[in-house]
Amino acid sequence: MNALAESVTWETQLELAFLLLAALACGLLIGIERGWRQRDEPDGSRVAGVRTFTLIGSCGGLIAVAALHVSAILASVLLAGLVALLVGAFLRPRVAESRRDATTLVAAMAALCLGLLAGAGFAELALAGAALVTFVLAARQQAHGLLQALTPEEMRAIARFAVIAIAVLPFLPDAQYGPYDAWNPFKLWLVVVLVTGFSVAGYIANRVIGQNRGTIATALIGGAYSSTAVTAAFAGRLKQQHAGPFATGIALASAVMYLRVVLLAAVLAPGIALPILALLGPAAAVAFGVSGLTWTREKANHADSTELTSKPFELLPAFGFLLAVAGASLLVRWAQVEFGDAGAAISLFIAGSFDVDAALVAYSALPRDAVPVAIAAFALSGTVAVNMAFKVAIVFANAGLKSGRMAGFALLASLAVLIATLAIRAVSLFG
pLDDT digits (tens, 9 = 90+) for 382-398: 888 988 998 999 899 88
Contact yes or no for 254/388 (Cβ under 8 A): yes
Distance CA 27, CA 96 (A): 25
Domain that holds residue 93: 2-144
Helices (H), ranges, 38-120? 50-69, 72-91, 102-119
Same domain, 135 and 156: no
pLDDT at 210: 64
Distance CA 282, CA 292 (A): 16
Question: Comparing C-alpha atoms, which of 271, 254, 389, 414 is closest to residue 324?
Answer: 389
Same domain, 134 and 160: no
Same domain, 164 and 140: no
The residue out of 120, 144, 168 marking a domain boundary is: 144
Whole-number CA gyration radius for the chain: 29
The residue out of 144, 167, 188 marking a domain boundary is: 144
Amino acid at 398: N
Name the stretches of the chain with pLDDT < 50.
98, 304-306, 308
pLDDT at 304: 45
Phi, psi of 183 (to 5 degrees): -115, 130
Same domain, 104 and 175: no
Distance CA 86, CA 57 (A): 13
pTM (global) more than 0.75: no
Same domain, 131 and 159: no
Same domain, 357 and 210: yes
Same domain, 131 and 191: no
pLDDT digits (tens, 9 = 90+) for 13-71: 888 889 999 999 999 999 998 888 777 666 655 667 788 899 999 999 999 998 988 88
Distance CA 427, CA 431 (A): 5
Question: Comparing C-alpha atoms, which of 341, 332, 421 is closest to residue 381?
Answer: 421
CA atoms within 13 A on the CB side of 62: 13
Same domain, 13 and 52: yes
pLDDT at 238: 79
Looking at the structure of the chain, the number of domains it has is 2
pLDDT at 306: 47
Q: What is the mean pLDDT of the chain?
A: 80
Distance CA 420, CA 414 (A): 10
Same domain, 359 and 425: yes
Amino acid at 280: L
pLDDT at 5: 55
Q: Which residues does 69 contact at the CB level (< 8 Å), separation at least 6?
A: 4, 8, 16
Contact yes or no for 195/218 (Cβ under 8 A): no
